[in-house]
Amino acid sequence: GEDVEQSLFLSVREGDSSVINCTYTDSSSTYLYWYKQEPGAGLQLLTYIFSNMDMKQDQRLTVLLNKKDKHLSLRIADTQTGDSAIYFCAETWDGATNKLIFGTGTLLAVQP
Amino acid sequence: GAGVSQSPSNKVTEKGKDVELRCDPISGHTALYWYRQRLGQGLEFLIYFQGNSAPDKSGLPSDRFSAERTGESVSTLTIQRTQQEDSAVYLCASSSHMPNTEAFFGQGTRLTVV
């Protein structure tokens, strides 16, 4: 089945690290993604990780993947007020078609 | 075009009327997705087109919803006999077929059923 879950809300202080978590159900997922949606804007891809990796770092972003527990996380170092947005994890479900399934989204609020 | 274009950007319609939403994907993108995002909620998958394959319609919530795509170009999402619970932002995205490519999203159509 296809089910991707996230916590709904996270509040952090500016300069702290943020960790946004995601769990998914399809063990055959090939790629897992993090998208960002700023207020009034469309979604933009932040980063992705291939399922045979367990970590990927991209500047302030670190993605951790625990395949055994089907758990994906996004860590944002030195969180800034401009990072305030909704963050969606997504997986490609059913490798034959690469259908993209999104999580419920986590609203990140950064307090100055 | 440079990006995914959706029209109209806003649509207010009366309950019971039909609406048609349009999506122009990025040229050359074989995959096209429709999602629904209700206020304060996540993205709900509706339908997925991939090249000439039969579309995956598993996310369409009722038979009032239908979508078409002509080849690898424009797609239209039609909602018949709209209901108030259809009010949402309808997002379209396109991508190439390669598995690790980015899905590019349009700005969405905000549908309000009154």
B33 pLDDT exceeds 90? Answer: yes
- A35, A100 in Cβ contact below 8 A? no
Backbone phi and psi for residue A82, each to the nearest 5 degrees, phi listed first: -70, -10
Alpha helix stretches (DSSP H) within chain B: none
Is B8:B23 a contact under the CB 8 Å cutoff?
no
Residue with tokens 């949402």: B88
- Is the pLDDT at A94 greater than 60? The verdict is no
Would you call A105 an interface residue with chain B, using a CB distance cutoff of 8 Å?
yes
Asked whether residue A1 carries a pLDDT value surpassing 70, the answer given is: no
Averaged pLDDT for residues B59-67: 95
β-sheet bridge partners, residue A4: A24
pLDDT score, position A31: 83
Contact residues, B window 15-44, toward A, CB-based 8 Å cutoff: 31, 33, 35, 41-43
Q: What pLDDT shows up at residue A21?
A: 96
pLDDT at A99 over 80: no
A30 pLDDT band, cuts 50/70/90, is confident
Q: How confident is the model at residue A2 (pLDDT cuts 50, 70, 90)?
A: low
C-beta atoms of B56 and A97 within 8 A = yes
More confident residue, A95 or B53: B53
Kindly report the number of other CB atoms within 10 A of residue A65's CB atom.
22
* Average pLDDT of the residues in A50-76: 92
Average pLDDT over residues A47-69: 91
Q: Which of B97, B99, B102 sits opposite A45 (nearest CB)?
A: B102
Cα separation, A81 vs B27, in Å, equals: 35
> Using 50, 70 and 90 to split pLDDT, how confident is the model at B99?
low
Contact B45, A99 (CB under 8 A): yes
* Helix runs in chain A, H state only: none
- Helix, strand, or coil (residue B48): strand
Q: Kind of pairing, strands A18-24 and A4-6?
A: antiparallel
